[in-house]
Homo-oligomer: A and B are copies of this chain.
Amino acid sequence: MSTVRLVGSLQSRVPQNGCPNCGFDSWCVPANLTSLESKQFNDRIEHRRPIKRSKHLHLAGAPLESLYVINSGFLRTSMADSDGREQVMGFSMTGELVGLDAIGTGKYLCDSIALEDSSLCGMRYSDLEELGHTIPALQHHFHQVMSAEITRDHGIMALLGVMSAEERVATFLLNLSMRFSARGYSGINFRLPMTRQDIGSYLGLKLETVSRILSHFNNIQFISINQRDIEIKSIQKLRQRIGAHETTCSSTRRTK
C-alpha cells in the first residue's frame, strides 16, 4: 500500500515552516533534527498539493518523482492484476506516506486515488536521498518508515492468510478506529471514506459479504452502522471476535 504511520502521537507541533500541520513535520521530531537540519529539510518540501476526490495521484507505470505525505484527506492504493482483477493494497490517511513501492523500479506499480478532497506535501525522492547523506538521523528515520511499511504489509498478509471473514472486518474496523484516534478524531464515531467494494477488495472478500457482516455486527450491538456512518459500540467485543476462532469453534463445532 505504500502508506504507513509515521509516528505514534501527532500532537507534536513543529511550527518552523509555513505549512500548518505539514505531513513532514512529524519527520523532524522523531528524527531529532537540529533546527538547521529542519530548515534544509523544509526547504525541499513541495507544500500543499491539492487533489480532488476521485482524482488520481498517480497511475501504475508512471515514473516516481516525489514521495507524498498526506496532509488531510484519504487515499486508496490499488493494484490491477494481469487479467484485470483489482486488489486494494491499502488506505492512507493524514500523516501517512505514499509511494514507497515505486523506489525499487522507479515506476509506480499501484494506482493511488483520492477518496475525498485531499491535500499532500511532497518531496522529490532524489532530494530525500541527498538529504539523507548529510543528515544521518533523517536517513535512519526513513529506513524505519520503510520497514514499518513492510511490517504493516506482513500484518495484512497474515489477515488474508488465516483470518475468517468476520475477523477480517473486525480487524479492519479496529484499525481504522485506532488511526482516527491517533489523529485526534473520534475513534468511536466516524464515516467510512470507501465503498463496501473497496473494503471487500482490501480484505479479500466480496462486497456482499462485507455488507452482511457489518449488518450482523450491527444486530449484535458491536457497532451501529448506517450506510457509511459508523459507531463502534464495543471495542472490547470486536477485539474478542478476533482470534475467537478456537473459542467459537469449541462452542459451535465441537458439538460433534
Given the interface contacts A79-B158, A101-B154, A147-B100, does A129 sit within 8 Å of B140 by beta carbon?
Answer: yes
Cα A105 to Cα B179 with chains together (Å)? 18
Cα A102 to Cα B245 with chains together (Å)? 28
Number of interface residues of A (CB under 8 A): 51
**Which among B154, B202, B243 is the interface contact of A83 at CB below 8 angstroms?**
B243
A184 shortest CB reach to chain B, Å: 23
Q: Do A153 and B148 touch (CB < 8 A)?
A: no
Contacts of A89 in B (CB 8 A): 154, 157-158
Q: Which 4 A-B pairs have the closest CB atoms?
A: A83-B243, A103-B147, A104-B147, A160-B160
At the interface, yes or no: A1 with Cβ under 8 Å from chain B?
yes
In the complex, 7 of the A-B residue pairs with CB atoms within 8 angstroms, ordered by the A residue number, are A85-B243, A89-B157, A103-B146, A129-B140, A133-B139, A146-B147, A153-B154
Q: Do A129 and B136 touch (CB < 8 A)?
A: yes
Q: Do B147 and A204 touch (CB < 8 A)?
A: no
At the interface, yes or no: A236 with Cβ under 8 Å from chain B?
no
0/1 string, A68-95, CB within 8 A of B gives 1 = 0000000000010111111111000000
Given the interface contacts A109-B154, A129-B139, A133-B139, does A85 sit within 8 Å of B147 by beta carbon?
Answer: no
